[in-house]
Amino acid sequence: MTTRVRTKQGVLVGARRKTQNGFEYDDFLNIPYAKPPVGALRFKSPQPPEPWLGERDATVYNESNLCIQYDIFKQKNRGSEDCLYVNVSTPKVPAAGLLALLPVMVFIHGGGFVFGNGLAKFENGPDYLIEHNVIVVTMNYRLSAYGFLSLDIPEASGNMGLKDQVMALKWVQENIEHFGGNKNDVTIFGISAGAASVEFLMISPLARGLFHKAILQSGSALNPWALDSPENIRNHTLKLAQELHYQGPLDDYQAIHNHLMNVPAEYIKLAANKATNPAQVKGVYFGLGPTIEKDFGNGEAFLTENPYELLQSGRFAKVPVMRGFTDSEGFIEAGTKPQDVKEVTTFKNYIDFWRYPLNANDVAYYNERLRQVYDSYTGDDIERPAIDFFGEFDFVSGVIASSKLLVKHGVPLYLYEFTYDGSLNLLKALNGVNKTGAAHGDDTAYTIQIEPVPMLTQDDVIVRDRISKLWTNFAKTANPTPNTSPLLPLLWPPYSSSEQFYMVIDKEVSIGTKYADDRMQIFEEILNKYHR
């Protein structure tokens, strides 16, 4: 069965679908939210979409419209440069305005800014959330070199992938009412790089007023992998050009840009990985990503100041926030760079993994303090202190430091730790980790349906249903537990500078306070001193 919607750009024909529980919804796939960033638009800021004549088939997605990438998990090349599309799933397209407008949840995928997508239906299922009567939007954005190289010129200024996200949110503002959505009740949510994106959107003037609540799962703009220096991004771009046989002056950015504009897309993808060489960089690192860009006065700059300083001074969108992390974020390091875990376990030189130099006295002082707090572990897993360090260094410390800055400026915030180890903990399995705990990103498949769905235990179903209820409660009311129920037996207290409450999400829920405070204090001291 098909259904139709008239958007600002033209008529879409979508499909009527059912969740496993029999809940019916209207599904519209592969909707362009910007002009294809191809030809003369490569590396440029996104441009508004063009209208089409007649009806556009939105019943299927096109694999070639994923953003060009090497998919690390699927171990294959996917997509093309023509990739700026969204999917929209709605419980019911409004008939003659008779339905009340519904809250909207816009999902931003993870993947380290180098892979991932929001288009493939079987990887971005809205099923768990949509059953709670919300509209779910998923998006693509440009990745790696296509989305994040920079030559400090207007034609290749950097952060194009983040500007794509802004354009997608503008499309939502202009069109979501046609699908039954309330443009004044938009929640953005993301995992890992998607969560860091959410925080970047909170601090960017370009995104102001485009959303009203934010959910961040295992990511922050303050994480060391989330933001690279302008110098590093530019140097990577120069190396990229050299990999692609550019032989002119390295200070002639216009000539480099002209050269890159004529290189086939597939070659750029391969050269970007060689230029950044993420496998040889210590710690969690993916490649070309967000940076602080130059402001050319054309109204297109996404981020021109240090994220820490923007958060510290209160210059960000003060919307309600729900955010969290998993209890074993460091499994990502154990799975992808076991040599780093071995190095820390053997030598305990924690400061070696900082992305910027600390002064000599700080190196010795903070390394000794880190040794003291991580050496206090008394369990049987000799790798556990290193895994905890990487999880807290790369993810948790940034989440908590950012949370303290947000609440200082009056933002209502709910913090969680996801500790459940169940059948939908897909990231741990993909990383090949055989340890107890929830890995980085392991709460993803409890919010977004990823196929094939494994056989679920009763506990898996309860945790999945609990999370989808918490997430949609927050999207509807800015409070994950406006009341209690058998599924949500506890009221979730907001995070504050004094109590620092957080909800532990496992087979049962409980309330903790001041997560790993002795360790967090060390990371925060360094962050406060160096502002990164």
Residues recognised as catalytic: 192, 329, 440
Question: N- to C-terminal Cα distance for the chain?
Answer: 52
- Cα-flanking dihedrals φ and ψ of residue 6, to 5°? -100, 115
DSSP-assigned letter for residue 353? G
10 Å CB burial of residue 394 (0-12, 13-18, 19+) is: buried
Helix (DSSP H) and strand (DSSP E) numbers for the chain: 16, 15
**329: which DSSP letter?**
T
Q: Where are the alpha helices (DSSP H) in 244-330?
A: 253-261, 265-276, 307-312
Q: Provide the strand spans (E) within 201-341.
A: 213-217, 321-326
Place of tokens 């790798």: 383
DSSP 391-410: HIIIIIHHHHHHHHHHHHTT
Name beta bridge partners: 105.
Answer: 136, 187
The β-bridge partners of 76 are 71
User: 186 by DSSP, 3-state: which?
Assistant: strand
* Separation between Cα atoms, residue 220 and residue 306, nearest integer Å: 13
Residue with tokens 């929001």: 118
Beta strands (DSSP E) in 19-82 are 24-32, 55-57, 69-71, 76-78
What are the tokens at 359? 């002064």
Neighbour count for residue 359 (Cβ, 10 Å): 10
